[in-house]
C-alpha cells in the first residue's frame, strides 16, 4: 500500500484548514535526467527542508526530492504543538538511557524549541510562536506524577517554566469536565505547521537549494558517491539525507523495521470569535491530554478550534473523518457537540517502539532521521539542522540521538498493519479504564 496516494491525490494538498488559508508556493519542477549535487535530501518536510536550508547556508549544493508537494506530509497537517524536551518525559528517559544521557537529550529538545522560535521571527516563516502548552490528565490518579515531575524538572534540570495545575485551575483554563488537573509549560508553544514548512522551503531556496516535487524516489543505491533514483531522474550525491518519517515506505528495510506509519486526524470548526475562544481555552494555550490515543487541540489565529485525535485501524482514512473526530471533541467539550466543522483531514506520522526519534548512519554517507512520534514540529526541524552538522563533520548531537536504542517492531514491516490494529484496540481500551 502506497501511503503517498492511498488517501490523497497526486500533487494535491489535503482538505486541511492550513492548506486552505495559506499562500502556497508555486509548484516546483519534477526532477529530470542526470543531476549531481553534494547532498540529496529525500522528503520536503520539516527535516528535509531544514537540512537543505542549513546545508545550503554552509555552501553545500543541495537537491531536495519530494514525491508529492512541499509540506504535503505530516509536517503540513499536524496539530502545531511545539513541546519541550523529547516525546518521552525526562524521568522515563533517565530509566531508558541513564541520567547523563537524559540530560543531553533534554538540552537537544530545548534547542529544538529555540530553533522553531527563531525561525518564526524570520520574514520567510509566516506564523507566530504562541507560548504555553497545557498537559491535562484524564484520570485523577495521574496528578500525583504531575506534582513529582514538576519538582523533578526544577531540582534536576533547573527548568522553572512548568508548573502544576490543580483541578479548579485546569478547569478555569480548559473549560472541560474531562480533566482532573495537569501542568502548564510556558517553555512550549504552538505554531501553524504548514506556514513553518513553507517558510523553511523559502529559506532553503533563498540559500541556494534546488527543490523538485512529484519526484518519487524508487531506489537509494549505496556507494561513494551514492545514487538516488526517481522515475525520471538519477541524482549522484556525496551524501544523502532521508527525511521521510511516516512516508518512508520500504525505501530502507532496517529503518522501516523501526519506524511504523500511523494515521491521525484533525478537524477545524467554523470561526468562533475571540470571546468564545476564551470561554473554551484561555490565554490561547495549546492542550494535549494524557490518553495514549491522545487528544490535542488549540485555536487558530482566526479563532477556530483545531481538534485532533481518534484512533486509526489500518492505513486507509475513514470515510467520515469529521464524524470520527467529533466523538472525542464532544466528550471533551460537550458545549461544542453541534458546532459546525468546515475542514477535516488525516495524515501519516512515524512512531517508534520507544517513542524516541530513530537516527541512523547508513553506509556512512547516508543519514536517516525519522520516527518523531508526534513531536516532529520541534524535533523534526532540529533534526535537519543536526543532519547538516553531521555532514559538515560536527556529529556530537547526531551521536547523542543515535545512541538511544531503537528496537525493531516485531515481525518487521510485513506485520505492522495487524500489529497496529491490535495495539490501537488495546490502548483505546486502556484509555477507557
At 232, the pLDDT band (50, 70, 90 cuts) reads very high
DSSP code of residue 9 = -
Q: How far, in Å, are 76, 84, 129 from residue 182 at the CA level? A: 28, 16, 22
Separation of alpha carbons 90 and 372, rounded Å:
16
Please spell the DSSP secondary structure of 72-114, one letter per residue: -SGGGTS--EE-SS-SS-HHHHHHHH-HHHHHHHHHHHHHHHH
Region class of 149: left (phi > 0), else alpha (psi between -120 and 50), else beta: alpha
Which residue in the block uniquely carries the three cell numbers 483505546?
A: 428
The tally of CA atoms less than 13 A away on the side-chain side of residue 265 is 24
Residue 252 pLDDT level (bands cut at 50, 70, 90): confident
Confidence of residue 247 (pLDDT cuts 50, 70, 90): confident
Q: What is the mean pLDDT of the chain?
A: 94
Spatial distance between the Cα atoms of 350 and 182, rounded to a whole number of angstroms: 27
Three-state SS string over 161-230 comes to: CEEEECHHHHHHHECCCCCCCEEEEEEEEECCHHHHHHHHHHHHHHHCCEEECCCCEEEEECCCCEEEEE
8-state DSSP, 253: H
**Per-residue model confidence (pLDDT) at position 410:** 79
Euclidean distance between CA atoms 211 and 189, whole angstroms: 29
Q: Before 157, cis peptide (omega within 30)?
A: no
pTM, 2 dp: 0.95
Q: Residue range 62-73: average pLDDT?
A: 98
Which pLDDT belongs to residue 363? 87
Per-residue pLDDT of 359-417, as tens digits, reads 999 988 999 999 999 999 999 999 999 999 999 999 999 999 999 999 988 776 655 56
What size, in residues, is the chain?
Answer: 433
Amino acid at each position: 500500500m502506497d501511503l503517498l496516494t492511498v488517501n490523497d491525490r497526486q500533487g494535491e494538498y489535503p482538505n486541511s484548514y492550513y492548506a486552505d488559508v495559506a499562500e502556497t508556493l508555486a509548484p516546483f519542477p519534477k526532477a529530470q535526467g542526470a543531476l549531481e549535487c553534494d547532498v540529496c535530501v529525500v522528503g520536503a518536510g520539516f527535516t528535509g527542508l531544514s537540512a537543505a536550508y542549513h546545508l545550503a547556508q554552509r555552501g553545500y549544493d543541495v537537491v531536495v526530492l519530494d514525491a508529492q508537494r512541499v509540506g504535503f506530509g505530516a509536517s503540513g497537517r499536524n496539530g502545531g504543538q511545539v513541546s519541550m524536551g523529547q516525546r518521552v518525559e525526562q524521568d522515563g528517559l533517565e530509566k531508558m538511557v541513564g541520567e547523563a544521557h537524559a540530560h543531553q537529550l533534554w538540552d537537544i529538545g530545548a534547542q529544538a524549541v529555540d530553533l522553531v522560535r527563531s525561525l518564526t521571527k524570520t520574514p520567510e516563516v509566516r506564523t507566530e510562536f504562541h507560548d504555553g502548552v497545557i498537559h491535562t490528565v484524564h484520570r485523577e490518579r495521574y496528578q500525583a506524577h504531575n506534582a513529582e515531575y514538576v519538582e523533578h524538572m526544577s531540582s534536576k534540570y533547573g527548568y522553572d517554566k512548568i508548573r502544576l495545575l490543580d483541578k479548579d485551575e485546569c478547569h478555569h483554563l480548559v473549560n472541560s469536565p474531562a480533566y482532573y488537573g495537569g501542568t502548564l509549560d510556558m517553555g512550549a508553544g504552538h505554531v501553524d505547521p504548514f506556514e513553518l514548512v513553507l517558510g523553511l522551503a523559502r529559506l532553503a531556496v533563498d540559500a541556494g537549494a534546488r527543490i523538485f516535487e512529484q519526484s518519487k524516489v524508487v531506489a537509494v543505491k549505496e556507494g561513494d558517491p551514492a545514487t538516488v533514483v526517481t522515475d525520471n531522474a538519477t541524482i549522484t550525491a556525496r551524501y544523502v539525507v532521508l527525511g521521510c518519517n511516516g512516508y518512508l515506505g520500504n525505501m530502507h528495510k532496517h529503518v522501516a523495521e523501526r519506524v511504523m506509519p500511523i494515521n491521525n486526524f484533525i478537524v477545524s470548526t467554523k470561526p468562533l470569535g475571540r470571546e468564545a475562544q476564551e470561554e473554551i481555552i484561555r490565554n490561547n494555550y495549546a492542550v494535549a491530554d494524557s490518553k495514549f490515543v491522545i487528544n490535542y487541540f488549540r485555536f487558530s489565529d482566526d479563532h477556530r478550534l483545531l481538534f485532533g485525535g481518534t484512533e486509526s485501524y489500518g492505513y486507509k482514512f475513514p470515510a467520515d473523518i469529521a464524524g470520527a473526530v467529533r466523538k472525542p471533541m464532544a466528550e471533551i467539550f460537550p458545549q461544542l457537540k453541534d458546532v459546525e466543522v468546515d475542514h477535516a483531514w488525516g495524515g501519516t506520522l512515524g512512531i517508534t517502539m520507544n517513542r524516541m526519534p530513530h537516527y541512523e548512519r547508513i553506509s556512512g554517507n547516508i543519514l536517516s532521521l525519522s520516527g518523531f512520534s508526534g513531536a516532529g514540529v520541534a524535533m523534526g526541524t532540529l533534526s535537519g539542522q543536526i543532519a547538516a552538522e553531521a555532514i559538515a563533520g560536527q556529529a556530537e548531537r547526531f551521536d547523542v540521538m543515535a545512541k538511544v536504542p531503537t528496537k525493531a517492531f516485531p515481525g518487521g514491516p510485513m506485520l505492522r498493519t495487524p500489529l497496529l490494529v491490535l495495539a490501537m484496540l488495546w490502548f483505546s481500551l486502556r484509555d477507557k479504564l
